[in-house]
Every structure is written in C-alpha cells, then in structure tokens.
Amino acid sequence: MIRLVPVSLICLFASAAFAGTPTDEAFGNLADEYLNDLANFSPATATIIGDHRADDELDRVDDAARAESLELLREYQAALEALDRNELSRANQVDAELLLHEIESSTWSIETLREWAWNPLYYINISGGAIYGLLARDFAPLEQRLVSATARLEQIPRFLEEARGSLEPSRVPKIHAETAIAQNPGLNSIIDTMIIPRMDVLTSEQQARLSAAIETARNAVADHQTWLEEELLPRANGDFRVGEALYDTKLAFALNSPLSRKDITARAEQEYEKVRNEMFEVAKIVYLKTHPMTTFPDSPDEAYKQAIIRAALEEAYRKLPPRDGIVDVAKQQLQEAIDFVIEHNIVTMPEEPVEIIIMPEFQRGVTVAYLDPPGPLDRDQPAFYAVAPLPDDWTEEQVESFLREYNLYSIQDLTIHEGVPGHYLQLALSNRYPSTLRSVLWSGPFVEGWGVYAEQMMIEAGYQNHDPLMKLINLKWYLRAITNAIIDSAIHVDGMTRDAAMKLMVEGGFQEEREAAGKWVRAQLTSAQLSTYFVGYQEHLEMRAAVEELWGDEFTLRRYHDQVLSYGSPPVRFVRALMLGEDIPRRGE
C-alpha cells in the first residue's frame, strides 16, 4: 500500500456539497480526506472510482498493509464520532451515516470476516481489475494508460506472492479454489486483447519495458496457477458456509436495513406463494390461446398449477436467441426499452454512453451479466453492460438449458434490469448527485432493488403491449429474486444442501438446470449479496406506496422516479426519509 502525500482535493472531490455550519465544514474536510485516502487503501479501487493519482501502483495485500488500513480506519471512525451529527445538514447527516457504516464494515471485514485469508478470488479480482480498469475506458491518452499498466504488471509477482502468503489453504473452500483456477488465466486474456494490439502507440523504449513487464506478469500468473492447482486445491478443506454469526453481521452491513434474516425469510416465503399464484393466473391466459376449450378447476392443487405454468412457459421457450447472438439481441432490446421510457415519460433518460460487451474472462463464473458503471470521477466515460459468453465445453443439452432460461423474453427482462430503466439509467442519474462520497458508498440493496423494481414497473406500464408471456417471464424473474433471498441464508446458516436448493429453484422457481446450477455456485462463492435484490425491491415498493399516499393526485411516475434518483444511491431508508421529511435514520434504527 502506497502512502500518498496529502493534497488539496477541493477541485477533485465534491464530497460535502451542503456545507453550512462549522460542523458541516468539518465533516466536508473529513470526507475529502477519506476520499483522498482511498488510493492508500487500494490503488486499484481508486482507479475504478476515477482517482488516477496512483494508477502506476498495485495494492499491497500483506499483514503490514492490513495493519495500516486498520489504523487509518480507526482514525476516521474516531474523528467522525467526535462530530455532533445533529448539527449537520440533512444531506450531510446521510453521508455521515454512510461513512461510519462503511468504516465499521471495512474494519469488521479485515478483523473478523478475514476473507483475505480464505478467498483466493479476492486477489484475482484486484489484480485483474487493476489492469482492466486502466484499459477499458479512455479517461486519459492510451500511451499514459499503457505506461501505468506496465508499472502494475511489473508488480504482479510481488502482489501474487503476498496473496499466497496471506491465504491459509486449509480454510479455503474447494469451490473457491476451483473458481480461482478457472479465473486466474484471465489476466493473460486482458494482456492479449487489450494491451498487445495497442502497443504501437508507445515509443520503442516504452514497448521494450512493456514487453518485459508482460513476460514478468505471465510468468507470475503461471507460477500462481501451479500453486493454485498443486498446493491450494489439494489442501482446500474450508467450509463455504460462513455460519450464523458471520452471516448475520455481514447481512446487516450489506443491507443497512432494519430487516433481519428472519424477517427477510418470512417475507420471501410469503411472496413465494403469492407470486406462484399470480403466475398461474397469467399462465391460464397463455394456455387458453393454444387450448381454448380448457375449463380450469375452481380449486386446483399445486401439481395442476405447476403443470399449467410449465406448459405456458414452454411457449416462451420457443423463442430463443442464437447461441452467439445474445449480445446483439440485448443491443436491440436496450433500444426498445429506451424508446418506451421516453414515449411514456417514465423517467428522465440520461445521455451518458452505455456499451454492451462480452464479459471479461477474469470476471466469469459468478453471474451471467452485470452493469459496470464508470467511476464517480469518470462520469463522462461509458457504462458497460457485460454479458458472459456460453462456455465452449458445454454440451448441447447444457446450451439448450441455458438458452431456454435466457429466451428472448428473459433477455428483455435482463436488459431492463441491467440497462434501462435499471442499473445503467439509475446509476447515470444518481452519479449526478453532487456528493462524490455518496456515489462511492452506493448501496447494493438500493441499486439491485431498483433493478427488480424497474422490471416490474415496466411491465405494469404496458411494455411489450401487455404480452402475457412477457408478464409470465417477468413474474418468473421476480420469483428468482425471492428464491435468491431464501437460499442465501438457508445455505449459509441452515445448511441447505445442493439437492434442496436445486429443487426449490427448478421446481419451485421454474428455473432451468443451468441457471439453478450456476446459482448454486454463486451462492457458495458469495453470502448476503443474493438477498439484496429482494430486500431492496421490498423497500422500494414500500417507499413508493408512502409517497403515492402523500402526493395523491400530484403523483406521476416521472416526478417520482426523477426525485428518487436525485439523491444518489444510498440505502432506501435514507431516500425515504429525504422524500417524506422524516428523521434521518441512525445506526441501530
């Protein structure tokens, strides 16, 4: 970890945009110092955020670096707790709560969760992201970015050596070791596709240095691959289940919500039954189109409902994308969603660029798609809607299973979630909020909950001409968010087996085998994240209902959505307080 000389960030950051009282000014200075120190905590993270002062440095990940981080975090916590937050503006009260929450979460993660000791993916994400983050966006001249990449590639051997020294093989779960083995070569893919074809912009001297750095990095990756396969994997006997104590604390940090694990499970189980019944009602409409003489029983049993829903879903599965054409389909459907949002005046349509890309190799194996937004300080750069290609070693049966799950209707729902009016639109508008600190400390449940809300809201607004098949697939995707929340805690706390999880997802959630199998892997590799979709969506629904009641006839979708997204992406309960004039929540509330 590099320790930077403090500099004035008045022009670079606008972290406390609502200075008023001396306490506001003090908090603004503290927030600026914290943002300045992000490059000390992690140069790779600073690059992604858009702070490029340490682009030629690669994170230190040894014991000394962790000790320095803990010391810094304790200093910030003490300074923050010394402020009288009652004297802050309402906007700064929110940011102060977010900063304190982040500091406590980071401290707990280093001291207690200790993922650095048992998750090899932690290091692969840093090293891959450190190089990818320099080359994916044109935030500076290519020559400058390649020189920075050269410096970071030269540090890969040191970084991976520190990673191996930090990991405790006996604590590493086998699934984490296997996934690391698959992802580790991804750095070579970045070199081959993003660096080598562009080296001609460098001088001969710079090219020589970069070529040497590439060889150094490749050798280090190869050595690390050997270690992963021959040393780590045979000794990887850790339990991927984090257990009740760690899970509950991690969940509380991840959600920043008053909802507990038991609250979430109870809500999810109730919604599970409700949504399956809604799917049956929509499935009857679809079924009658092909079997118009059907008479449905007044009180069908669950087996009958299951059969009708599956028969209706088969109609959607007739419309599949080509195996190598998912990206092209997503591009077309993104434009359709944009046109609908504009035509129906649903929310302000941002002009910030968005590109649909093939997911980088080092990121594959956890999720099918994601939205990679530009950092808060690189707001003029494009957002990337990344889609994972189908693995080359899949059988025809596995390919068919995947394409059935990601039929044309499902890709449309996915594109709403990741693109418009989901993550891309929401983050583009939220990033306009003047507090850089709030943009950096965005809330996963707010963002993921908005994505699920966007799916539901678009269908209710008549997207795709009220097509019942679109509605059926939309409900299926919401059912996925529900089962995500159920299996998240059930796996990590209650010991749910793979068979039980697969049964819930395939039979209960109507997911195809490939989707459910991938979710089982994802659930093992993560904890608490799968609950963010359902919890965030529930909180968004409750907030909208409260605002609709308050505004009455003055409520419109455009007015509501624009105001919700004008506050950035803090946890929903803070946006609700700002929308309704309620007290700003404090820790433990």
In the chain, what are the domain boundaries? 22-252, 326-580
Residue 589 pLDDT: 64
CA atoms of 316 and 582, how far apart (whole Å)? 45
Positions in the chain whose pLDDT score sits under 50: 1-17
Residue 587 pLDDT: 82
Tokens of 206: 């710079």
Tell me the Cα Rg of the chain. 24
Report which of 303, 299, 308, 315 is spatially closest to residue 280, judged by C-alpha positions: 308
What SS3 class is residue 390? coil
What SS3 class is residue 391? coil
Bridge partner list, 354: 383
Residue 366 pLDDT: 54
Cis peptide before 421 (omega within 30 of 0): yes
Residue 4 pLDDT: 32
CA atoms of 533 and 451, how far apart (whole Å)? 8
In degrees rounded to 5, what are phi and psi of residue 259?
-75, 130
CA atoms of 93 and 85, how far apart (whole Å)? 6
Query: CA-based diameter of the chain, in Å?
Result: 80
In degrees rounded to 5, what are phi and psi of residue 509?
-105, 0
The β-bridge relationship of strands 383-387 and 354-358 is parallel
Q: Is the pTM of this model over 0.85?
A: yes
Cβ-Cβ contacts under 8 Å for 294 (sequence gap 6 or more)? 287, 288
Residue 362 pLDDT: 65
Beta strand ranges found along 51-198 (DSSP E): none
407 to each of 7, 201, 316, 345, 399, how far by Cα in Å?
52, 42, 7, 28, 12
Asked whether the beta carbons of 100 and 149 are under 8 A apart, the reply is no
What SS3 class is residue 511? coil
CA atoms of 311 and 395, how far apart (whole Å)? 25
Report which of 231, 248, 110 is spatially closest to residue 168, judged by C-alpha positions: 231
53 to each of 3, 44, 49, 156, 181, how far by Cα in Å?
12, 11, 11, 19, 32
